[in-house]
Structure 1
Amino acid sequence: MSEKYKFVDGEGIYHVTLTIVHWIDLFTRKEYVFDVLESLRFCQANKGLKIHAWVIMPSHLHMIVSSRDVPLSDIMRDFKKYTNKKIIESIQSTNESRKKWLLNAFSKAALPLKRINGFKVWMDGNHPILLDNNFMMEQRVNYIHNNPVEAGMVMESYHYTFSSAVDYAGQKGLLGIDFIE
């Protein structure tokens, strides 16, 4: 098995990407975004997750993260497991026009896997990339914050609500962040 995309440095800072199965545009509804934000806040408060930069795009989430207490691999596993369940509950209880289609897609994604019973929202893995120098960190922060601009969603990165770009522009965003120094 490849060591290329694993958490190898317990004290390192990583760029991670978590993607919805089939690249489904799930995060076009704020309810599901808030499920993710709630879980990230929990991980920050209870698991020692440090979030240095983040953006939630329609089908994926980018973050620059580190941890002071719990291994990042454990945090990411628990985060995905919890949000998988929470998002399914939200789909089932929300007036979701794509409810049947979404549940069917997430159910089919889980079928070939013995370890998953019911629904699979997230693709396997989180593609961790160790950021071991300032150039890489700055490059990834810019990449994350410019994602909505490149997608044509906003003209300026700090105008995108579901991102830490607003924090880096001197305002207060939706998640507390630990600035990279």
Structure 2
Amino acid sequence: MLIRDHPYFFTATILEWKALLKPDKFKDIIIRSLEFLVREKRVLIYGFVIMNNHIHLIWQMLDEHLPTDVQHSFMKYTAQMMLKALKDNHPKVLSLFRVDAKDRKYQVWERNPLSVALYSRSVFIQKLEYIHLNPMRAGLVAVPEAYGYSSAAYYYTGKSEWEFLSHYNG
């Protein structure tokens, strides 16, 4: 398994900052997709947080997998699964994601997610701390490790239910 040269800080935002990810079932779609990418040896996941309207990841591509390809398939798959869940269970909410575009009727993610290569350990640590503090800054928890949909507990306590995580120290 070849590890590509550096990790990436990745941010994707729900269309118009809508709180689609507030229900856990939508967060779980993200989790299942991350688990798949790790299981298929496409990426290593060093850190993540899933907020109500956006996600942050620190991930590293493996073997021949290009960041743009992995990001595209991740966003496409998660969007399809979220739209299916909305169609099946929340058709009124689905209408909030209708767009007037030539290539689609609905859109979940904002276009052009942020993807920044992390070339230094200090910037990596800064971004990891940033994502872990996100739920606390949003007033959702008192301490970062109390937020369930994050890698914070993995780093702060050494315990985590997220088996797909890789520690940045190896």
Same fold flag (TM > 0.5):
yes
2:62 — aligned with what?
68
Deviation for aligned residue 1:67 = 0.9
Tell me, what secondary structure is at the counterpart of 1:27?
A: coil
1:139 — aligned with what?
126
2:166 — aligned with what?
178
Q: Which piece of structure 1 moves more, 39-48 or 139-148?
A: 39-48
2:129 maps to a residue whose letter is N
Q: Distance in 1 between matches of 2:66 and 2:88?
A: 33
2:8 — aligned with what?
14
* Aligned residues between the structures: 164
Gaps of 5+ in 2: none
Q: CA RMSD in A?
A: 1.4
Q: Distance in 1 between matches of 2:154 and 2:135?
A: 15
2:87 maps to a residue whose letter is Q
Runs of 4+ in 1 over 2 A off after TM superposition: none
CA contact (8 A) 2:132 2:150 kept: yes
Pairing 1:28-47 to 2, within 5 Å after superposition: 28-47=22-41
Is it true that 1:93 corresponds to 2:93 in the alignment?
no
1:71 maps to a residue whose letter is L
2:96 — aligned with what?
105
How many percent of aligned residue pairs carry the same amino acid? Answer: 27
Post-superposition Cα deviations, 1:91-113, rounded to whole Å, max 9, x if no partner, equal 1223x4xx41x3222112xx23x
1:161 maps to a residue whose letter is G
1:157 — aligned with what?
144
TM-score (norm 1): 0.85
1:74 maps to a residue whose letter is D
Correspondence for 1:167 among 148, 154, 157: 154
CA contact (8 A) 1:107 1:118 kept: yes
Deviation for aligned residue 1:11 = 2.5
2:80 maps to a residue whose letter is K
Gaps of 5+ in 1: 1-9
2:75 — aligned with what?
80
Deviation for aligned residue 1:47 = 4.5
